[in-house]
Structure 1
Amino acid sequence: MISSHQETHFGLPVFEFPRHGEEVPPELPDAGAVTWRISVASYDSEEKWAEAFERFRAAVELKRVTSLIVGAWEEPYETSPRGVIDALVGAREELGALRSLFLGEITGEECEISWITQGTVTELLDAFPRLRDFTVRGGSGLEFPPVRHEALVTLTIETGGLPREVVQGVAASDFPALEELVLWLGTSEYGGDCEAADVAPILAGARLPALRRLALCNSEIQNEIAAATATAPVVAQLRDLDLSMGVLTDEGAAALLAGQPLTHLASLDLSHNYLSDELRERLRQELEPAGVALDVDADDAEEYDEDDGAVWRYVAVSE
């Protein structure tokens, strides 16, 4: 479960715009000096998110806002952010300086990640062609039809279960400036039904010429992802590779070791895994002497043994 809000985002401190009923300070931060978080109560809210945005719009010089976090909107466990998207798209001319947008920065206490209802988020990419950083949390109802965006540098989608159609939409998109792509693939129990073949266009790298960091993580098919990555053309251009948070066992780690050399990487994150001590040591011996910052920590990986001998292993973030 994600238990806390971000304190910094896009290199800026986060400032929570006062909620309904809270006093607005006589002096607010400079519009471009902070990342603004706008949110309402996720249960029994007395105000809709779009109404909170209108208060924000009246108090802050929108044309100087560079970074914005959309926190909880009203009843996100059953309501899409339609009102949020409409409000932001409607203010796109005033928000011409916006470079970073996080849609759904919601903690588990407000709404579990697998319950967050999303929508067609690419409307925001179309509305803000100069956006450099875009993060979405929540996969239920999420839609991501293929899009081309010339300026986007970082794209992050955090879910407990990422629908196959979303993975395919991202894979079919053109992001010539994208340097960092982070996908939390999740589990089938919460809608994560993609297969390794669905990420093949990403691993080919043809539409991602600038990519330097790739994270395909939090997946119950982490072994298959690792095996596909082992021979992926995109790896040669990467600086950082992240296959963490998932159900990675010796099978997937052995595939990585048998594939193309990874010694050019600055970092390889395999944390939250189910590896044997032998495989961990093999990874260290091959990669650490080359200067690769390797994380094979497994402290938070949980598994459960049934009486019949079945073993259940869990991704880091699901519900």
Structure 2
Amino acid sequence: MISENLESFAGLPVADFATSGTDATDLPPADAVAWRLACGWDDERPFDQLWREFLETVPADRVRAIVIGSWWGDGEYDTVRPVFDLLVESAGRLPALRSLFLGDVVAEECEVSWLQMSDVTPVVEAYPLLEELVVRGCGYGSGEDDPLTLRPVRHERLRTLRFESGGLPADIVRAVCESELPRLEHLSLWLGVEHYGGDTTLADLAPLLAGGRLPELRHLGLQNSEMQDEIAAAVAAAPVVAQLTSLALSLGTLTDAGAEALLAGQPLTHLEALDLHHHYLSEKLAQRVREELEPSGVEVDLSEPQEVRRWGNSDEEFRYVAVSE
């Protein structure tokens, strides 16, 4: 579960714009912070009013980063589509916007797998100079009529793309693979679990793992998956690994089998960092990973080891991803 809102984003501290009637002279410089817009539980203003006040108060043409939090306040939880529409309509007033976080919502407000997203394609297309996009949520449950969607796009400037989800639809993965993103350097996909809509298969990931489509990619995260062992085995032979400087297979159900496959595959000593935190490795295997990679300068993260769970007298083993519901 996600329990804390962002404190920084895009290298900037996050500043809330939430007070009606705020004087511009009391605010930080428009380009010095990432502006977070969210409707609090006691906020009776609809999001569109908050958005208008923001654009009228802050010098919008200097805003570099925006974080969208809860958009429903004390009202009924509703689709995020009107928020996306506002972003698209306001693109001309935000020429300096380079980083955008959609869905900075914690579990107390809405569980990530019930956080309804919509079609993000119009937002991507409305900001051709955007360099960083993070989307949290998937739309499971309340989002059947307006689910998280991405159509294949060409975007010349996007450098960082991250989808944080307890169940990422395979359509999103396929759209990313089919998109033309010539400058993308950092890609993270939280695949999640099947119960919450995470239906990605190794076949869906194959075009990405084959390399070639993202020539500037340096970080790849295939995370938060209940098939983390299978992903690790596929990554072990994936051509894309040769171009990476960091690899994240964290947050999922990685066991000794997956780690052994990873070590038995192509050399990983060229990496600067290997993130495996939140894992189910034995201490013996974890130590072996360290011994084989750290002497070459690879920074290995094996924090947050998990214990296999059993219910009652059952022999069945249960392993959990870090973020699901």
Deviation, 1:303, is 3.2
User: Aligned equivalents of 1:312 and 1:304: distance in 2?
Assistant: 5
Contact 1:78–1:117 (Cα < 8 Å) also in 2 = no
Superimposed CA distance per residue, residues 129-186 of structure 1 (whole angstroms, 9 cap, x where no aligned partner)? 0000000000112111111111000001101110111111111111100000011111
Q: Deviations over 1:1-34 (max 9, x none)?
A: 11111111111111100245x7557521111111
What is the percentage of aligned positions where both structures have the same residue?
Answer: 50
The CA RMSD over aligned residues, in Å, is 1.7
Match of 2:144 in 1: none
Question: What residue is the counterpart of 1:272 in the other structure?
Answer: 278
Task: Confirm or deny: 8 A CA contact 1:161 1:190 kept in the other structure.
Answer: yes
Alignment check: 8 A CA contact 1:77 1:116 kept = no
- Name the CA shift for 1:19/1:71 in 2 (closer, same or farther; >3 Å): farther
The 5-angstrom pairing of residues 1-319 of structure 1 reads 1-19=1-19, 26-41=25-40, 46-74=44-72, 78-140=77-139, 141-299=147-305, 301-306=306-311, 307-319=313-325
Aligned pairs, number:
316
What secondary structure sits across from 1:312 in the alignment?
coil
Q: Structure 1 pair 33/289, CA: closer, same or farther in 2 (3 Å)?
A: same
Q: CA deviation at 1:77?
A: 8.5
Consecutive unaligned residues of structure 1, counting only runs of 5 or more, are none
The runs of 4+ residues in structure 1 deviating greater than 3 Å are 22-26, 75-78
How far residue 80 of structure 1 moved from its aligned partner, in angstroms, is 2.0
CA contact (8 A) 1:230 1:260 kept: yes
Cα distance change, pair 292–119 in 1 and its aligned pair in 2 (3 A): same
Question: Deviations along 1:251-285, whole A, 9 cap, x unmatched?
Answer: 11111011100000001011111112221122112
Alignment CA distance shift 1:195-1:265 (3 Å): same
Q: TM-score, normalised by structure 1?
A: 0.95
Q: Give the superposition deviation at 1:61.
A: 1.2
Q: Where in structure 2 are there 5+ consecutive unaligned residues? A: 140-146
C-alpha separation in 2, matches of 1:114 and 1:145: 21
